[in-house]
Amino acid sequence: MKDNKIPCSWVKVLLGYDAEYKKGKKPKELKAANDENLVPYIDIKAFEKGLITKFAKPDSGILAFPTDSLMVWDGARSGLVGNGIEGVIGSTLMRIRPIVSDIRYFHYFLQSKYQEINSKTKGTGIPHVDPQMLWNFEYPLAPLNEQIRIANKLDTLLAKVEAAQTRLDKIPTLLKRFRQAVLAAATSGELTADWRLNSKFPEWKVVLFEELILASANGLAKRSGTKGKLTTVLRLADFKNAKRVYGNERQIILNVKEQNKYELLPGDLLAIRVNGSVDLEGRFIEYQEDRLEAYCDHFIRFRINTEIALPKYITYVTNEGEGRKYLKKSLSTSAGQNTINQTSIKGLKFSLPCLDEQKEIVRRVDALFALADSVEKQYRRAESRLKPLLQAILAKAFRGELAPQDPNDEPAEQLLARIQAQQEKARSAKKPENPANNCPNPKKPQCRRGFSRDQTTK
């Protein structure tokens, strides 16, 4: 039928009526090495990352080719569509081919439905594509020549979107490297080399971290209390990127003695004692809040002599460069987890500038990090705009707004009628055992034999 949202030369059909599809299956025999009698086995890893690690006989499963569309059928990424890869496909993939349409036009339409398919999967355990929803999508069938024009336009536009996404994807890594380089320069003296030339302050001296500590203690181990005051006890989950976050705090009743022992003050350093990740243990967080809060046994607290060292500068030393290498080497394993203790941390040896130079270092690092933060905000804005752009382009394409219509194109109705006639002729040449199999069932769009125009339109 006609639709006021598509050009008059188009028709809408159910997607299943213009699709041939077969779900993959895992072959009984797979080999790790290839030979001339085998083809690649396309599992989810091969599909997503192009990593071919197994091979199978061509007749052992469902073959796919580069002209096919492959859809992830099971799992968290159900509905994801990619280009076909020549080989036998695994059970998590569906091979899909158009009957009538240009293969690229058809492929782009499948891509345009990913978010909808993925958000409405079936299954209580492992999610999978809902076939009733998929094959009953309204599919805007354009004249064949126009499909080709649209696909050509999409090839160009989406290549630009992909190139922009590739460039954006590099920014987080570049920012991470920039911040690491700033901290490395800060703790080596390079960042303030010009400042020292114009000052009369002494050179850096080597110190033990233990010499800077006024007090230290492991965190609170208990998880509940009955007498005292309800107190927020911070866990690692209460920090993100070393910044305090709110909304999911745990509160425990603490008595006066416990409050005094585990109370945090602005400038205290919290060393991550245990978390199960070698990337986090031994990292320092500067506590900057001014409120009554305690800390759990995820942490070791260090209170620093601020007449000698700035807590923030110490975080630079411990979280990057030689200080970080030392702390990683100091990790031990207990009950399957990486841990670090006070003795190991106190043994950290590093070069320390005078207090005035530490202040200048912190000032310069803050300024450079503010610049990086500004770039990161711009990146996130661009990222948030780019993702909807892909869907907006695809939506425009399937409304007939991306490429011009040509009155000389054969209307989609005629294209559809000709294909239907060809299928009717092929079907009538056969005598099926059960005539009921020839009857199209509009509730089962996968039964495409003998469908009429009324059954293919909405």
Q: 136: helix, coil or strand?
A: coil
Residue 458 has pLDDT above 90, yes or no: no
- Region(s) of the chain under CATH 3.90.220.20: 11-143+408-456, 205-352
Instruction: Identify the pLDDT of residue 450.
Output: 30
Instruction: Identify the pLDDT of residue 334.
Output: 66
Instruction: Identify the pLDDT of residue 90.
Output: 94
Neighbours of 251 (CB within 10 A): 13
Of all residues in the chain, the percent with pLDDT exceeding 90 is: 69
The one-letter amino acid code at 452 reads S
Instruction: Identify the pLDDT of residue 419.
Output: 74
Q: What is the CATH number of domain 205-352?
A: 3.90.220.20
Residue 38 has pLDDT above 90, yes or no: yes
Query: pLDDT-derived band of residue 74, with 50, 70 and 90 as boundaries?
Result: very high
Distance CA 81, CA 96 (A): 10
Residue 388 has pLDDT above 70, yes or no: yes
Q: What is the pLDDT of residues 342-353, one digit of tens each?
A: 999 999 999 999
Residue 429 has pLDDT above 90, yes or no: no
Residue 437 has pLDDT above 50, yes or no: no
Query: pLDDT-derived band of residue 276, with 50, 70 and 90 as boundaries?
Result: low
Mean pLDDT over the full length of the chain: 88
CATH class belonging to 11-143+408-456: alpha beta
Distance CA 107, CA 151 (A): 9
Neighbours of 347 (CB within 10 A): 13
Residue 418 has pLDDT above 90, yes or no: no
Q: 357: helix, coil or strand?
A: helix
Residue 3 has pLDDT above 60, yes or no: no
Residue 245 has pLDDT above 70, yes or no: yes
Eight-class DSSP state of 339:
E
Eight-class DSSP state of 202:
P
Instruction: Identify the pLDDT of residue 106.
Output: 97
Distance CA 69, CA 104 (A): 9
Instruction: Identify the pLDDT of residue 383.
Output: 92
Query: pLDDT-derived band of residue 420, with 50, 70 and 90 as boundaries?
Result: confident
Q: How far is CA 182 from CA 114, 247, 398, in A?
A: 41, 32, 49
Residue 456 has pLDDT above 50, yes or no: no
Tokens 């809408």 found at: 12
Q: How far is CA 447 from CA 294, 328, 344, 400, 402, in A?
A: 66, 62, 70, 28, 32
Q: Would you say 9 and 405 are in contact if contact means Cβ atoms under 8 Å apart?
A: yes
Q: Please indicate, yes or no, whether the overall pTM of this predicted structure exceeds 0.95.
A: no
Residue 240 has pLDDT above 90, yes or no: no
Distance CA 74, CA 94 (A): 9
